[in-house]
Amino acid sequence: MARVCVIGSTNLDFTVTVPRLPRVGETVSGGELTISAGGKGANQAVAARRLGADVRFVTLLGSDPMGDRLAQSLTEAGLPPDSLLRTADAATGVALIAVDPEGRNQIAVAPGANHRLTVERVLAHAEVLDWADVVLLQLETPIETIRWALQEARGRGKTTILNPAPARVLPLPPALLPLVDYLTPNEIEAGLLTGREVQGVGDAGSAGQALIAAGVGVAAVTVGAEGVVCVRPGSRFQVAGFPVSPVDTVGAGDAFNGALATLLAAGVPIEDALLVANAAGGLTCTRRGAVEALPTRAEVIALMDRERRWPTTDW
């Protein structure tokens, strides 16, 4: 079984569907409130688990009722409780999300305990790095912890994936990029990383080339419904997205990254891994919420069957 270690954030998401996203200073009355597990780390860990990976997730929750709720939810999703850490020094992270009928969203986050996930706390669970095939990180925890985890994983011969999201914490320290085997920015993140505007496939390819020159092993730049542009030293290619009717794009990038980690950990070629990742991300857009919207392996296979697009290698 593919073994994936995710180190990252967990939030309790409060999501409201609204007829349109509010302007500055405006109140828009919405529909139902949904409360669920979220945060990029948690989403990616659950996404990988649902696609068949054996997952270890290192995160930090507050010692509060929200943390209790999330710990139960993550354990029920199949993540071992040993590395779901707790602290009394900060509240559990919270995200406030507004989603319009087209699936667009506005998100405000109070990171809380996520910003207390220090190197020292992760170091106490460093054995998960030895255990894993792939180590997956994002940018909702301290940059010092991310740098340490990438260095340690690289030193142990593990494949590293960094999802450079959310975009607000960019740019990254230049010395961090050479520690990344696979970097997975969207268009906005790729633009911030490279100092150029990125809109569409052509720009994504150019940004990917710049990221390779900065030391990244492979740059996989997601371009929304058009899929992903993958750039490696000496080559680039596009993997088209899957046609879906989006209702909520929250978690789509996390589903993509969880799937990519799972397939790479299973030894699947990058072309096939990106195909499955696109399917997982596309399916997530068709459902509301974060963790609850993430698809299973069977659902991803059903979408690929429907579109008659299959990977050449099973996982």
* Residue given tokens 């929200």 in the structure block: 66
Angle at 182 between CA 179 and CA 186, to 5 degrees: 120
Instruction: Confirm if 95 and 12 have CB atoms less than 8 A apart.
Output: yes
Maximum C-alpha span of the chain: 51
Contact of 12 with 94, CB cutoff 8 Å: yes
Residues designated catalytic: 254
The pLDDT tens digits along the chain (315 residues) read 899 999 999 999 998 989 999 999 899 887 788 898 999 999 999 999 999 999 999 999 999 999 999 999 999 999 999 999 999 999 999 999 898 888 788 889 899 999 999 999 999 999 999 999 999 999 999 999 999 999 999 999 999 999 999 987 777 888 999 999 999 999 999 999 999 999 999 999 999 999 999 999 999 999 999 999 999 999 999 999 999 998 888 899 999 999 999 999 999 999 999 999 999 999 999 998 889 899 999 999 999 999 999 999 988
Sheet containing 54-62: order of strands: 84-87, 54-62, 3-7, 134-137, 159-162, 182-183, 218-222, 228-232, 235-239
Q: Where are the domains of the chain?
A: 3-307
Decide if 43 contacts 49 (C-beta within 8 A). no
Q: What torsion do the CA atoms of 263, 165, 228, 151 make, to the nearest 10 degrees?
A: -50
Fold of the domain built from segment(s) 3-307: UDP-N-acetylmuramoyl-L-alanine:D-glutamate ligase (3.40.1190)
User: Which H helix or E strand runs over 258?
Assistant: helix 252-265
